[in-house]
Amino acid sequence: MTDAADRIQDLISSNDVVLYMKGTKEMPQCGFSSRVAGVLNYMGVDFADVNVLADDAIREGVKAFSDWPTIPQLYVKGEFVGGCDIITEMTLSGELDQLFDDKGVAYDKDAADKIREANG
């Protein structure tokens, strides 16, 4: 493994939820990253955010690590879940709630329901 891959593996192993994104959860720097961080923040999920714009090795490394060409990338309990479109779809279908339930990740069920009601 490369140094970047080791750093990615360490981070996703030591945090339940990790979002590789452009910018930070407080200040996203692209619409797709903003959407995923917004969903997680709104649902009250405790997650580690990694600003790929601050580290080219991680920015390229995470794409190779997941074999996924775009940012953002969400990891839950060490597993790659998907990017913006997949997370949006999973949020609206309830699959993200199910994943969090299955993996023991705390989130606000009412907030998740509100997202679905607003987009239903």
84 marked among binding-site residues: no
* Residue 27, domain extent: 3-113
Asked if residue 119 belongs to a domain, the reply is no
Mean pLDDT of 20-41: 97
Q: What is the CATH number of the domain that holds 37?
A: 3.40.30.10
- Number of structural domains in the chain: 1
Strand order in the sheet with 79-82: 48-51, 17-21, 73-76, 79-82
Residue 118 domain flag: no
The packing angle between helices 31-42 and 84-93, to 10°, is 30
Residue 112: predicted pLDDT: 97
pLDDT at 6: 97
pLDDT at 1 over 90: no
In a domain, 22, yes or no: yes
Among residues of the chain, what percentage have pLDDT more than 90? 97
In a domain, 90, yes or no: yes
Q: What is the pTM assigned to this prediction?
A: 0.96
Q: What is the mean pLDDT of the chain?
A: 96
Task: Label residue 2 by pLDDT band (50, 70, 90).
Answer: confident
| pLDDT tens per residue, range 53-91 | 999 999 999 999 999 999 999 999 999 999 999 999 999
Does residue 100 sit within a domain? yes
